[in-house]
Amino acid sequence: MTHDDTDTDGDADVSTDEEPTDANGSTDGSHAARTPGGGAAPEPEPIEPAAPEEFGLVQAWWGDGKGKTTAAMGMGFRAAGHGYRVHMLQLMKGGADSVEGVRGEYNTIAAMPGFSYENAGHYGWHGLLDGSADDEHEAKASAAFERAEALVAGAAEADLTEPLPLDGDPDDGVHMLIVDELLYAADRGLVDPDEVVALAESKPDGLELVLTGSHAEPAYLDGVADLITNVRKVAHPFDAGHRARRGTEY
């Protein structure tokens, strides 16, 4: 059996005798030299104000699995590490008897240049017999949604193609806005899903809008959100009776 250099479409296999070079023009004989970093592990750099070139999508993270807020905040830290201005507005999460009066993420955000947060939640969870009042949840969620609208409007007034002050007021514009648990509030009927769609459609082109929450699929975002991720539960320690743990859930 003979071997030739053609693929199933009959095209000749493309090859080159040119030695790959790294960022300094030297060769090491490996394909790693063709990577942007020349095969070297990236080193941390000082965080300076910068502007993203490709932001502007709408993301939705939903599902019955753990990690939706964690994923959103992870992106927030990544963006802030590049010098982009990030803000997180949290609905619903006003505290519960299973969570201490401290949140590790808040401490870390406070220490991170360019990343800020605000909590607009009510104690407990809507619809549960935990001593919290559902009408208070609705009032808090409604006010928080108005706050989200104001933040999107502020971003629309800013020039998001330019760096923003890392310690600037989020009302003056951010490159990434995380509205945590908004989809949960919409699922519970505390916020109108049509208003969530209007919020997404009203955002300026350069704003990356990240929405999280809800165990139910936000079908109303089909064709609106650019990224929709279902965080699916396979197993969860809560099902075995474990309570929220310091350092993993708060």
**Over the chain (250 residues), what is each successive 10-residue block's mean pLDDT?**
44 48 53 74 92 98 95 98 97 61 84 95 48 68 95 98 98 98 94 97 98 96 98 86 79
Return phi, psi of residue 192, to 5°: -70, 125
Return phi, psi of residue 176, to 5°: -135, 130
Structural contact between residues 60 and 227, judged by C-beta atoms closer than 8 angstroms:
yes
Structural contact between residues 225 and 59, judged by C-beta atoms closer than 8 angstroms:
yes
Looking at residue 126, its pLDDT comes to 43
Looking at residue 100, its pLDDT comes to 58
Over the stretch 9-64, which tens digit does the pLDDT of each residue have?
444 444 444 554 545 555 555 677 777 777 788 888 999 999 999 999 999 999 99
Looking at residue 56, its pLDDT comes to 98
Q: Is the pTM of this model over 0.85?
A: no
Q: What is the pairing mode between strands 208-212 and 115-119?
A: unpaired
